[in-house]
Protein backbone atom coordinates (compact mmCIF):
# COMPACT_ATOMS: atom_id res chain seq x y z
CA UNK A 1 0.00 0.00 0.00
CA UNK A 2 1.20 3.51 -0.83
CA UNK A 3 2.74 5.49 2.02
CA UNK A 4 1.80 9.17 2.40
CA UNK A 5 3.76 12.09 3.84
CA UNK A 6 2.02 14.88 5.74
CA UNK A 7 4.27 17.88 6.44
CA UNK A 8 3.77 19.54 9.83
CA UNK A 9 3.58 23.25 9.10
CA UNK A 10 4.17 24.21 12.73
CA UNK A 11 7.73 22.98 12.13
CA UNK A 12 8.20 24.96 8.90
CA UNK A 13 9.78 28.40 8.62
CA UNK A 14 6.68 30.49 9.38
CA UNK A 15 8.47 33.70 8.38
CA UNK A 16 8.73 32.34 4.82
CA UNK A 17 5.66 30.11 4.75
CA UNK A 18 4.80 30.49 1.07
CA UNK A 19 8.35 29.55 0.07
CA UNK A 20 8.18 26.55 2.39
CA UNK A 21 4.88 25.45 0.81
CA UNK A 22 6.42 25.76 -2.66
CA UNK A 23 9.31 23.56 -1.51
CA UNK A 24 6.82 21.01 -0.17
CA UNK A 25 4.99 21.03 -3.51
CA UNK A 26 8.25 20.38 -5.37
CA UNK A 27 9.01 17.52 -2.98
CA UNK A 28 5.68 15.84 -3.79
CA UNK A 29 4.37 15.99 -0.23
CA UNK A 30 0.90 14.44 -0.02
CA UNK A 31 -0.65 16.57 2.75
CA UNK A 32 -0.02 19.75 4.72
CA UNK A 33 -0.56 18.92 8.39
CA UNK A 34 -1.92 21.93 10.26
CA UNK A 35 -2.18 21.78 14.03
CA UNK A 36 -4.93 23.78 15.72
CA UNK A 37 -4.41 24.09 19.49
CA UNK A 38 -6.52 26.06 21.95
CA UNK A 39 -4.38 26.18 25.10
CA UNK A 40 -7.01 24.11 26.92
CA UNK A 41 -7.24 20.66 25.33
CA UNK A 42 -3.45 20.88 25.02
CA UNK A 43 -1.11 23.37 26.76
CA UNK A 44 -0.16 25.25 23.62
CA UNK A 45 -1.64 27.63 21.03
CA UNK A 46 -0.64 27.41 17.38
CA UNK A 47 -2.04 28.12 13.92
CA UNK A 48 -5.51 29.57 13.34
CA UNK A 49 -8.43 29.40 10.94
CA UNK A 50 -7.64 32.56 8.94
CA UNK A 51 -4.22 31.11 8.17
CA UNK A 52 -5.79 27.81 7.09
CA UNK A 53 -8.08 29.60 4.65
CA UNK A 54 -5.16 31.64 3.31
CA UNK A 55 -3.05 28.50 2.80
CA UNK A 56 -5.96 26.87 0.99
CA UNK A 57 -5.88 29.70 -1.56
CA UNK A 58 -2.19 29.30 -2.44
CA UNK A 59 -1.70 25.53 -2.79
CA UNK A 60 -3.35 22.47 -4.26
CA UNK A 61 -1.82 20.13 -1.67
CA UNK A 62 -4.70 18.70 0.42
CA UNK A 63 -4.83 19.96 4.00
CA UNK A 64 -4.65 17.61 6.97
CA UNK A 65 -6.23 19.64 9.78
CA UNK A 66 -5.49 18.27 13.27
CA UNK A 67 -7.84 19.90 15.79
CA UNK A 68 -6.45 19.64 19.31
CA UNK A 69 -9.24 21.70 20.84
CA UNK A 70 -12.16 21.28 23.19
CA UNK A 71 -15.55 21.21 21.46
CA UNK A 72 -14.29 21.27 17.85
CA UNK A 73 -17.90 21.41 16.66
CA UNK A 74 -17.81 25.17 17.39
CA UNK A 75 -15.09 25.71 14.80
CA UNK A 76 -15.72 23.32 11.89
CA UNK A 77 -17.54 25.97 9.83
CA UNK A 78 -14.65 28.43 10.18
CA UNK A 79 -12.66 26.58 7.52
CA UNK A 80 -13.18 26.72 3.75
CA UNK A 81 -12.09 23.26 2.67
CA UNK A 82 -12.71 20.79 -0.15
CA UNK A 83 -13.32 17.08 -0.64
CA UNK A 84 -9.64 16.08 -0.56
CA UNK A 85 -8.99 17.80 2.77
CA UNK A 86 -9.12 16.02 6.12
CA UNK A 87 -10.42 17.42 9.40
CA UNK A 88 -9.25 15.25 12.28
CA UNK A 89 -10.77 15.66 15.74
CA UNK A 90 -9.88 13.93 18.98
CA UNK A 91 -12.02 11.18 20.44
CA UNK A 92 -11.52 12.82 23.84
CA UNK A 93 -12.62 16.32 22.74
CA UNK A 94 -16.44 15.99 22.90
CA UNK A 95 -19.00 13.79 24.61
CA UNK A 96 -20.96 13.12 21.42
CA UNK A 97 -18.04 12.82 19.04
CA UNK A 98 -20.09 11.18 16.28
CA UNK A 99 -22.01 14.44 15.83
CA UNK A 100 -18.76 16.29 15.08
CA UNK A 101 -17.77 13.63 12.58
CA UNK A 102 -21.16 14.02 10.89
CA UNK A 103 -20.59 17.78 10.68
CA UNK A 104 -17.25 17.22 8.96
CA UNK A 105 -18.75 14.79 6.45
CA UNK A 106 -21.58 17.23 5.73
CA UNK A 107 -18.96 19.81 4.64
CA UNK A 108 -17.77 17.34 2.00
CA UNK A 109 -14.40 16.78 3.74
CA UNK A 110 -12.80 13.57 4.90
CA UNK A 111 -13.20 12.90 8.62
CA UNK A 112 -10.34 11.72 10.82
CA UNK A 113 -10.44 10.58 14.43
CA UNK A 114 -7.38 11.00 16.67
CA UNK A 115 -6.53 8.95 19.75
CA UNK A 116 -4.28 10.13 22.57
CA UNK A 117 -1.65 7.59 23.71
CA UNK A 118 -3.79 6.43 26.66
CA UNK A 119 -7.05 6.06 24.66
CA UNK A 120 -7.77 2.44 23.61
CA UNK A 121 -8.28 1.69 19.92
CA UNK A 122 -11.32 -0.39 20.91
CA UNK A 123 -13.19 2.88 21.52
CA UNK A 124 -13.37 3.42 17.76
CA UNK A 125 -15.37 0.25 17.04
CA UNK A 126 -18.77 1.91 16.74
CA UNK A 127 -17.46 5.00 14.94
CA UNK A 128 -15.79 3.45 11.91
CA UNK A 129 -18.68 4.29 9.58
CA UNK A 130 -18.16 7.99 10.35
CA UNK A 131 -14.43 8.20 9.64
CA UNK A 132 -12.00 7.94 6.74
CA UNK A 133 -8.79 7.91 8.75
CA UNK A 134 -7.54 6.96 12.21
CA UNK A 135 -4.77 9.07 13.74
CA UNK A 136 -2.72 7.29 16.39
CA UNK A 137 -0.81 9.85 18.42
CA UNK A 138 2.69 8.57 19.17
CA UNK A 139 3.33 11.38 21.68
CA UNK A 140 1.05 13.31 24.00
CA UNK A 141 -0.31 16.13 21.82
CA UNK A 142 0.77 19.72 22.29
CA UNK A 143 4.46 20.19 21.54
CA UNK A 144 7.01 19.22 18.92
CA UNK A 145 10.27 17.53 19.92
CA UNK A 146 8.90 14.87 22.27
CA UNK A 147 10.00 11.22 22.35
CA UNK A 148 7.68 8.55 20.98
CA UNK A 149 5.82 6.81 23.81
CA UNK A 150 6.68 3.22 24.64
CA UNK A 151 4.11 0.93 23.08
CA UNK A 152 3.35 3.13 20.06
CA UNK A 153 4.30 0.39 17.60
CA UNK A 154 2.09 -2.16 19.34
CA UNK A 155 -0.81 0.27 19.37
CA UNK A 156 -0.53 0.88 15.61
CA UNK A 157 -0.24 -2.85 15.03
CA UNK A 158 -3.30 -3.43 17.20
CA UNK A 159 -5.23 -0.73 15.36
CA UNK A 160 -4.43 -2.36 12.02
CA UNK A 161 -5.59 -5.73 13.30
CA UNK A 162 -8.82 -4.40 14.83
CA UNK A 163 -9.74 -2.36 11.75
CA UNK A 164 -9.35 -5.48 9.65
CA UNK A 165 -11.47 -7.45 12.13
CA UNK A 166 -14.17 -4.77 11.90
CA UNK A 167 -14.20 -4.88 8.08
CA UNK A 168 -12.22 -1.64 7.68
CA UNK A 169 -8.91 -3.01 6.43
CA UNK A 170 -8.62 -0.21 3.83
CA UNK A 171 -8.88 2.60 6.40
CA UNK A 172 -5.69 4.67 6.54
CA UNK A 173 -3.76 4.93 9.81
CA UNK A 174 -1.84 8.14 10.43
CA UNK A 175 0.93 8.53 13.00
CA UNK A 176 2.01 11.82 14.54
CA UNK A 177 4.84 12.52 17.00
CA UNK A 178 8.62 12.03 16.77
CA UNK A 179 8.35 10.28 13.40
CA UNK A 180 12.08 10.03 12.70
CA UNK A 181 13.66 7.69 10.15
CA UNK A 182 14.04 4.89 12.69
CA UNK A 183 10.62 5.40 14.26
CA UNK A 184 9.05 5.79 10.83
CA UNK A 185 10.40 2.41 9.74
CA UNK A 186 9.08 0.73 12.91
CA UNK A 187 5.65 2.36 12.52
CA UNK A 188 5.55 1.47 8.83
CA UNK A 189 6.18 -2.18 9.65
CA UNK A 190 3.41 -1.97 12.28
CA UNK A 191 0.90 -0.84 9.66
CA UNK A 192 1.00 2.98 9.49
CA UNK A 193 0.05 4.61 6.16
CA UNK A 194 0.37 8.39 6.69
CA UNK A 195 3.39 9.88 8.44
CA UNK A 196 3.31 13.36 9.94
CA UNK A 197 6.84 14.70 9.50
CA UNK A 198 8.42 17.63 11.32
CA UNK A 199 11.84 18.41 12.72
CA UNK A 200 12.71 14.72 13.15
CA UNK A 201 12.71 13.85 9.46
CA UNK A 202 11.60 16.59 7.04
CA UNK A 203 12.59 20.10 8.14
CA UNK A 204 16.31 19.51 8.55
CA UNK A 205 19.17 22.03 8.63
CA UNK A 206 21.54 19.94 6.51
CA UNK A 207 19.15 18.60 3.88
CA UNK A 208 16.58 19.96 1.41
CA UNK A 209 12.91 19.09 1.89
CA UNK A 210 12.94 17.14 -1.38
CA UNK A 211 15.94 15.04 -0.34
CA UNK A 212 14.58 14.52 3.17
CA UNK A 213 11.21 13.31 1.86
CA UNK A 214 12.86 10.98 -0.65
CA UNK A 215 15.23 9.57 1.96
CA UNK A 216 12.39 8.98 4.41
CA UNK A 217 10.28 6.96 1.98
CA UNK A 218 13.25 4.91 0.83
CA UNK A 219 14.32 4.20 4.42
CA UNK A 220 10.95 3.11 5.82
CA UNK A 221 10.25 0.87 2.82
CA UNK A 222 13.60 -0.98 2.88
Active-site position among 35, 38, 64, 193: 35
Give pairs for 202-210: CB < 8 Å, separation 24+: 202/5, 202/7, 202/8, 202/11, 203/7, 203/8, 203/11, 203/12, 203/13, 208/23, 208/27, 209/7, 209/20, 209/23, 209/24, 209/26, 209/27, 209/29, 210/23, 210/26, 210/27, 210/28
The closest alpha carbon to 33, from 86, 101, 92, belongs to 86
Task: Decide if 35 is catalytic.
Answer: yes
Task: Decide if 19 is catalytic.
Answer: no
Active-site position among 23, 38, 64, 176: 176
**Which residues are known catalytic residues?**
35, 176
Amino acid sequence: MKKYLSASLMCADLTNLIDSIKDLEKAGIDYLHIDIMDGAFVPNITLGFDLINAIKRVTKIPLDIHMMVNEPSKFIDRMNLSENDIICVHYESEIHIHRVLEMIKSKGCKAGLALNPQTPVENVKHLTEYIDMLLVMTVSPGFAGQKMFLGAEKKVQGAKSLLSEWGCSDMLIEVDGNVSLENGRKLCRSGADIFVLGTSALFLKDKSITDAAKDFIEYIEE
